Structures are given as C-alpha cells and as structure tokens.
C-alpha cells in the first residue's frame, strides 16, 4: 500500500487543486471584470488577454502546488 501513497495523494491534491482553482479564478476574474476601465475595443481585448494569461498562471501555480503537496503528504503519512 505504501507504493501507492504518493500517487493517491497526488490525485487527491490534483482534485483539490482543480476545485481551488475554479473558486479562486472565478473570484479574481469577476473582480477584475468589475474594475475594467477600458474604453476602446483594443483596450478591452488587451485586458481580456491579460486576464487569460493570469488564469493560466493561476492554474499552473495552484493545481501544480496542490498536486505536489498531495504527493508529499501521502508519502509522509502512508509511505
């Protein structure tokens, strides 16, 4: 069972990370869209592009870190 501790922890971390990403990105993107002061179409397009980049960075950081933490916690507790 100890051989599966890390991968099981990583899987749990992945699921938790995905849920956490959905919640955090929804709150952050909603706040950013409310504060959008773009007046022209190119400004709006640039703002939307920046939001998409921020979502990618959030996904990599949040999902990646919780997956790694899940793996490490699984190995520590059950491995």
Domain ranges of the chain: 2-78
Q: Which two tokens stand for residue 62?
A: 């949040």
Answer whether 12's CB lies under 8 Å from 20's CB. Answer: no
- pLDDT exceeds cutoff 80 at 33: yes
Please, what's the b/e burial string for 20-34 (b: 16 or more CB within 10 A of its CB; e: otherwise)?
A: bbeeebeeeeeeeee
Residue with tokens 């916690």: 73
φ/ψ of residue 50, rounded to 5? -65, -40
Residue 40 pLDDT class (50, 70, 90 cuts): very high
Query: What are 8-27's pLDDT values in tens digits?
Result: 999 999 999 999 999 999 99
pTM score, whole prediction:
0.84
* Angle value at C-alpha 18, between 17 and 23, nearest 5 degrees: 95
């Amino acid at each position: 069972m100890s051989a599966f501790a890390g991968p099981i922890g990583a899987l749990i971390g992945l699921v938790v990370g995905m849920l956490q990403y959905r919640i955090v990105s929804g709150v952050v993107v909603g706040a950013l869209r409310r504060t959008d002061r773009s007046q022209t179409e190119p400004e709006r397009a640039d703002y939307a592009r920046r939001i998409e980049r921020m979502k990618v960075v959030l996904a990599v950081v949040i999902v990646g870190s919780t997956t790694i933490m899940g793996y490490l916690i699984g190995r520590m507790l059950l491995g």
